[in-house]
Structure 1
Amino acid sequence: MPSADVVVGDDGLSRCAWGANDPEYRRYHDEEWGTPQHDPVRLYEKVCLEGFQAGLSWITILRRRPAFREVFHGFDVDQVAAMTEADVERLITDARIIRHRGKIEAAIQNARATLALDVPLDELLWSFAPPPRDTAPRSFAEVPATTPESAAMSKELRRLGFRFVGPTTMYALMQAAGMVDDHVSGCFRAMMPRDSSAEPVATVA
């Protein structure tokens, strides 16, 4: 039986309750969250945006994502790595994004750390993906905040110079990038066979 954490939308589809009402959340839930992502640009973006989300709601970040993409050069790693203190000072005054010096500096540092990797970013991140679930979680109460895998990913990224990559943030990354499937039982996306193609970025504001 579907859990109480599933809502039927006006289109007749059952969704995780968090993604059922707000149009931005619905699109993100349907097209991105839990979809395997291997594109290095989109993965670097997710690392950064999950860091910006720390202490905030995800919808706050999602609604600002177009501005984040603009000010961080489409999350092109080379261009972000070349950003300077003057760029940081400028972005702190930009009300379209999250004006947090530490998080802005972390995005730049994470680009530099990405460039210094010995392996591609997707290979590094996906090396921590757990085995696929056998069954969907019955409710949000069964979805963890951290796992041994997210803790290990966090520890390794920190060792490599990444910032704002705590275990909880990294588990959120795993969910967002499809390394885990936490769509709850009854959601039309739960346990859906998916390929590893990138999300349709052009359709996501």
Structure 2
Amino acid sequence: WPGADLDFFNFFLFFPECKNEPGETVDDIFICALDEAIDGPGGILSYSGPFLIGEDDFIPTAGYMVYDTSDTSSLIDNGLFEDLVLHDLAQVMGMGSMWQDLGLVTNIGTERNPNYVYTPGTHACDQWQRLSGCDGCPPLDNDSGGYYWDKAYLQNELMTPYIDPETDKTRPFSRISVGALDDIGFV
């Protein structure tokens, strides 16, 4: 198959439920969203991330979002499913999922005692300083491998690691997260 995009073909092998390629040219990003049994009620609500990355700009061109069938109804009933979809969309775009690959996050701790930090001098750090009045960069969640903002500091922000249905009635996408998208290359 001369000129075939084998990476795109492999995407459909990895996610056979996404049987058909898009019917038209996708010039931004293609996302396959699926429901499947992950771990039963509670626990993992979804998983998501980029699958294909542009060779020149390192911007994701295809990704996946998979939702636990045991949790979807309760999230919809609580008005939180849309927030979860937006959270996963941001991960497909590289939020958290590509930070380490792009050099935006490093572990200055050890494997047993991680301490993930966001790279100083970036847009996310500038926005953290403007919003919080603190020096440094936005605190990251060490338990998740540095893929999310630390919930202790950013509470119900959309890109924290989990949703608490009791306290997270609104999940804003903060200017810090917009700064992180800028760091990835989207803004």
* TM-score interval for Structure 1 and Structure 2 normalised by the shorter chain: under 0.3
Which has a greater percent of strand?
2
Calculate the TM-score normalised by the size of structure 2: 0.25
